[in-house]
Amino acid sequence: MKKLFFVFFFFSSIMCISYAQSQLKWIIGGRFGLSVASSGGGAGLQIGPMGELLFNKNMGVGTELNINTQTGTPIEWADYFKYYFDIPSNPNIKPYADAGFNLWFVNGGPYFGIRFGGGVNFKVAPNLYIPADIQLGPVFASTSGGGGYYDYFGNYYGGGSTSNTIFYFAITSGIRYELP
């Protein structure tokens, strides 16, 4: 009886895993656009690769590594959850909303941030999309002790403990390829 149960459990596990893996799809690509930071950080270019795992038709998780050209050349590593909305009348347009967390590597960092936004993927060929994307959110910068430092924007802060919340905004495009 134990052998029969083990065989049943083993084959049902394999069937569940194969079904789950058949539902997964990968999206790879990159982004390029404009990023703006508050408090005198100015505007700069943003460029970087991205990867996303769709675990059903409408939901996925992803990560990005973006390089910005503002003072200090901030680098953002973002992880997010994304939800795609259905438009039955036009399957070539895929609007989405996303939210997640990010780490900013810049002078005196890393700093933690919250990221949210959305956009639309426009289908231009089978499995190939051009996105229009907006991301925004706060970045929490703080240091304690020691000498002064320059923040994301190039502002100098003297010694002691300081905190600064920076608001980040990016409008980008790029390319997305859904692996078959």
Q: How much is the pLDDT for 42?
A: 79
Residues contacting residue 35 through CB under 8 Å, at least 6 positions apart: 43, 44, 45, 46, 66, 68, 70, 168, 169, 170, 172
Q: Quick check: is 5 in a domain?
A: no
Asked if omega into 110 is within 30° of 0 (cis), the reply is: yes
Q: Quick check: is 10 in a domain?
A: no
Residues contacting residue 7 through CB under 8 Å, at least 6 positions apart: none
Q: Quick check: is 18 in a domain?
A: no
Q: Quick check: is 62 in a domain?
A: yes
Q: Quick check: is 80 in a domain?
A: yes
Q: How much is the pLDDT for 23?
A: 77
Q: How much is the pLDDT for 16?
A: 45
Q: Quick check: is 37 in a domain?
A: yes
How is residue 131 written in tokens?
Answer: 């996105």
Q: How much is the pLDDT for 2?
A: 56
CA 118/CA 96 separation, integer angstroms: 5
What is the C-alpha radius of gyration for the chain, rounded to an integer number of angstroms?
A: 21
CA 50/CA 141 separation, integer angstroms: 24
Cβ atoms 33, 175 nearer than 8 A: no
Total count of domains within the chain: 1
Tens digit of pLDDT at every position of the chain (180 positions): 556 444 445 545 444 444 455 579 999 999 999 999 886 667 899 999 999 999 988 999 999 999 999 887 889 999 999 999 999 999 999 999 999 999 999 876 789 999 999 999 999 999 999 999 999 999 988 765 555 655 555 565 665 566 788 899 999 999 999 998
Specify the CATH number for the domain of residue 115: 2.40.160.20
How is residue 107 written in tokens?
Answer: 């002078």
Q: Quick check: is 47 in a domain?
A: yes
Q: How much is the pLDDT for 107?
A: 76
Query: Whole-model pTM?
Result: 0.78
DSSP string, 114-173: EEEEEEEEEEEETTEEEEEEEEEEEEEEEE-SSS-EE-TTS-EE-SS-EEEEEEEEEEEE
Q: How much is the pLDDT for 156?
A: 59
User: What is the domain extent for residue 120?
Assistant: 23-178
CA 150/CA 148 separation, integer angstroms: 7
CA 129/CA 95 separation, integer angstroms: 12
Q: Are strands 75-84 and 93-105 parallel, antiparallel or unpaired?
A: antiparallel
Q: Quick check: is 14 in a domain?
A: no
